[in-house]
Chain A
Amino acid sequence: MATILIVDDEHFIHDLYRNILDTSGKHVVIADAYDGVEAIEVYKGSDPKPDIVIMDHRMPEMDGLEGTKALLELDPNVKVIFASADSSIKRTAIENGASGFLSKPFRFRELIAQLDSVLGDE
């Protein structure tokens, strides 16, 4: 069972992720954060560390790009799937160390496929 940290400033998105991933039966959301700064704190406090971080782009305090960089500085092995409605940010996200990119809104099976893809890379 792959463990996941959801980072998004929208509460209902957290619920959605949780419901979808619970349905898949292969993934479990173990932690939530609502901006980049909180994501770092939650990641630091997690033990064991989540297998994947699903990171939103636009968030207060620290956006997804900065958050991804900060997490990778903290743990170079962390896997981040970047999720944004702005597909033009995809290249920058990958350059910042993201392992995958999801263009919002995405379908259920797209999310699962992306998770499988990133986890399969290990």
Chain B
Amino acid sequence: MPSKKTSKKEPSKKKTSEGSASKSKRTKSSDKAAKVTSKKEQSKKAPSKKDKPSKKVSSKKEVKVAGQDELTKLKARNKELEEKLHYYRMLKETISFCSNQMVQISELPEAMESVLTKVGTELGKHRTIVFQNYVDTEGELYIHTFFEATLGDAKGIEHIGNLENIYLKDVSVDGMNQLMRGQPWQRTKSQFDLREKKFFGILELEQVALVPITVEQGLWGFLLVGDCEKESSMATEELGALLNLTSMMGNCIQQEMTQGAAWSEKVLFEQLFESAQEAIILGYNDGTIIRANEVFLSLFGYEEAEVLGKKIDDLVAPGDLSTDAEEVTRDVSIGVTVEFETVRQTKKGELIDVSVLASPIMVGDEQIGVYGIYRDISERKRNEEALKESEELFKQAIDGSEGGIWYLEFNPEDPELMPDKIYLSPTLKGYIGFDQHEFPNSVAAWHERIHPDDYEGLMRSSRDHREGYTDHHEAYYRIKHKNGTYRWMHTRGKIIRNEDGDPVRWVGIIWDVTDQKEQEMEALTKRDQATLLGDILAHDISNLNLGISGLMDLMVELEGLPEEGKELSYHVIEQSREITNLVANVRKLRNIPVHQQQTEVVDLRDVLVRTSKGVKANYPLKKMTLKHSVKGGKVLLAGNDLLDDVFFNIFGNSMKHSKSDKVKIDVEHKYLRGSKSYRIEISDNGPGIPDVIKSQLFYDLDDAEYTPTGKGIGMTLVKRIVDLFDGEVWVEDKVASDPSKGSKFILILKRGELD
């Protein structure tokens, strides 16, 4: 039951709801009946949440003039307001609250505040026309809601619009204008046709006042205060109090509407921000990050704490990327929206392709910040590149009259399985002598014709590409032509993969390169022939020299041969050995490896013994004395048989150029602890080497600027071999600045390490 309160302003007459019903001039019904039915009706009318979407409050409008136009505007405005609310339903609980208590008029503000608090917290997003019944009980004014309707209801608006048929049918156009201007309207003897509500008949009120509820300077609803018994108009003070009340109601409603909209916007924003598929950051105008969503943190590999307060450009566009990034930040900071694709860097330093939308955030005319949206487009870029390459391959295939194309599709259900079905272009089949329909579109059929020596190489390339080790598949192979001969093919292809990396399609081109291969083979054959000729030349010269030196050896054994004849024979032997050495050095220079070889441990004493013996045999007319202190097993070098050629050529050089019959060669050695090497000095008593010759002695055959002087290639071979073993060689005067006293070769050779 409603509570009973005392009014200070109006004489009151206590009246129960039953009493009220009996005194009212309703043709049907009673307050009680009205109350009960009202609840039922309200319950039936209450719309659900989904009936009305929420939207932001828009700009203000002012209704100034009544009439049909104004009503149209009013309708539009109501519709607009309607759209701005989160949901739409009847103020069931408000009605329930009001209908279950009697509120003294003097406490109306408080009571309505209570109502509006409830409205504000729960139902404040609704607008309503509240019909209030004014009752006078024991000299006090009470208000009692006995039903309500909504202005937003289409039917209700329609009624208002027609005026003739509204419940408050006595409200004139002038009355509506008055309400729209925010002024209360009242009159006596009003009838409220409630028949359309189906539970009342005609409600006759002795006095009625409508007090407008204004929201955003527009008529939102009104409070009706009616009296079924008392005919006198409400006092100005009373109307003023009610205006205060409705003003407060309007403010509360407006506040609720605004806050509700703001709240919903905030929720929406949060959801949008965090559930977005794109990486989003919000920042100040200078690019300092205020917020970053999960996708952003995940994409760039940062924790939230690592990005907040940092400049976006410092995080994702350091170094070379900073130039264009700073330009973008500058543009956005002055209100320009920029959209582009670029490369940005993750925390780990990986570069990723991204699309970027950078835009200012405006509130009114003021830019309060910026936002950036990044989308990872790496996959798309890769696909584009693959597509571009594949298109290029096709373009080449189509444009080039000499290329034949092939492609095959992988089974999506089993992408690892190599399909047999393949498209082989007519050009391709033509390469091996078949017409389009003569040869099946089968991988196996094609492979069957591949030369067995080339099959494994083709499969290796194919396998490596399928397993992702190579960017593309490429191979040369021979395939059997219809006529039984083999043709050389050059195939190049690429697998197009989906986002999961599974192969989808394999496209490729094959060129018939038989002519090119034959030319290469011919060139190789020529080179081999040249090598062979060189070997034959060396072999035959050696054999001929063997014959010359052998015959000379036999000659000197002849009895009765004068000494002069013997001497001449030895000269012949020497010359033939020079020829042999020259041929041997040429052969060695041609065959010597370019890169360092695996070394063995070589005993220097053994090398000295072997090479000195060979050199002595080559110069029978000269006596060579080799002096050294190298003991067997004591000086071990890192090298191999080629070291013999080093010493053989250096000793031979001394023998060859010595004008004396007695050639003295001293070999000294010293261990260099720091470099784990031996310094070996080989000095002779020969005529020495002029400085101008020294610089040319070890000339490099690859030096295009050097013009050989025809002095042999022995020292060039020495240099090559020493380099091969990471050593050094040079020549000095045996006596400084006096070449005539003989020469000194210095070798730096690595020490050989025994296991």
Contact = CB atoms under 8 A, between A and B. Distances in A.
Interface of A: 10, 12-13, 16, 19-20, 23, 58, 85-88, 90-91, 103-110
Interface stretch (B43-51, B264-272, B576-584): B576-584
A10 B548 CA distance: 14
Contacts of A90: 641
22 contacts: A13-B543, A13-B546, A16-B547, A16-B551, A19-B554, A20-B553, A20-B554, A23-B557, A85-B580, A86-B587, A87-B641, A88-B588, A90-B641, A104-B543, A104-B545, A104-B546, A104-B580, A105-B542, A105-B550, A105-B576, A106-B617, A107-B620
B538 interface: yes
Contacts of B546: 13, 16, 104-106
Interface of B: 535, 538-539, 541-543, 545-551, 553-554, 557, 573, 576-577, 580, 583-584, 587-588, 591, 614, 617-618, 620, 641
Given A58-B539, A104-B542, A109-B617, A87 B584 contact: yes
Chain A at the B interface: mostly helix, strand, loop or mixed?
A: helix
A105 B553 contact: no
A10 B641 contact: no
Given A85-B543, A91-B641, A23 B554 contact: yes
B641 A107 contact: no
Contact of A86 (B539, B551, B617, B641): B539
A108 B577 contact: no
Nearest 10 Cβ contacts at the A-B interface: A85-B542, A108-B553, A105-B546, A105-B545, A16-B550, A104-B542, A107-B617, A105-B549, A104-B546, A58-B539
B553 A107 contact: yes
A104 B557 CA distance: 21
With most chain B CB atoms within 10 A of its CB, the pick from A103, A104, A110 is: A104
B538 A86 contact: yes
A12 to B, nearest CB: 6
Nearest to B576: A105
A91 B641 CA distance: 9
A89 to B, nearest CB: 11
Contacts of A104: 542-543, 545-546, 580
Nearest to A88: B591
Given A12-B547, A58-B539, 8 more contacts: A16-B546, A20-B550, A85-B583, A88-B587, A88-B588, A104-B580, A107-B620, A109-B553
B238 to A, nearest CB: 128
B533 to A, nearest CB: 13
Given A85-B580, A86-B538, A108-B553, A13 B547 contact: yes
Contacts of B541: 85
Given A19-B554, A90-B641, A105 B548 contact: yes
A105 B551 CA distance: 12
Contact of B550 (A85, A88, A108): A108
B548 A85 contact: no
Nearest to A108: B553
A110 B539 CA distance: 19
Contacts of A88: 587-588, 591, 641
Contacts of B554: 19-20, 23, 108
A4 B281 CA distance: 96
Contacts of B548: 105
Among A23, A91, A108, the most chain B Cβ lie within 10 Å of the Cβ of A108
Contacts of A10: 543
A88 B589 CA distance: 12
Contacts of A23: 554, 557
A85 B641 contact: no
Given A86-B587, A105-B576, A110 B617 contact: yes
A23 B552 CA distance: 13
Contacts of B576: 105
Contacts of B641: 87-88, 90-91
Contacts of A109: 553, 617
Contacts of A16: 546-547, 550-551
Contact of A85 (B539, B547, B557, B591): B539
Contacts of B617: 106-107, 109-110
A56 B393 CA distance: 57
Given A12-B547, A16-B546, A105 B577 contact: yes
Contacts of B549: 105-108
Most buried by B among A13, A16, A90, A109: A16
B556 to A, nearest CB: 9
A16 B620 CA distance: 20
B29 to A, nearest CB: 127
A88 B583 CA distance: 13
A75 B540 CA distance: 31
Residue of B538, B550, B580, B583 contacting most chain A CB atoms (<10 Å): B550
A32 to B, nearest CB: 16
A5 to B, nearest CB: 18
A23 B404 CA distance: 74
B555 to A, nearest CB: 11
A91 B580 CA distance: 20
Nearest to A110: B617
B482 to A, nearest CB: 39
A23 B550 CA distance: 12
A108 B577 CA distance: 13
B642 to A, nearest CB: 9
Contacts of A86: 535, 538-539, 587
A12 B549 CA distance: 13
A90 B644 CA distance: 13
B553 A85 contact: no
A24 B583 CA distance: 29
Contacts of A107: 549, 553, 573, 617-618, 620
B573 A85 contact: no
Contacts of A20: 550, 553-554
A105 B544 CA distance: 8
Nearest to B583: A85
Nearest to B554: A19
A10 B541 CA distance: 12
B338 to A, nearest CB: 70
Contacts of A12: 547
Contacts of B580: 85, 104-105
A105 B550 CA distance: 8
A14 to B, nearest CB: 11
Contacts of A58: 535, 539
A101 B550 CA distance: 17
A91 B545 CA distance: 23
A23 B556 CA distance: 12
A91 B644 CA distance: 13
A20 B550 CA distance: 7
Contact of B538 (A85, A108, A110): A85
Nearest to A106: B546
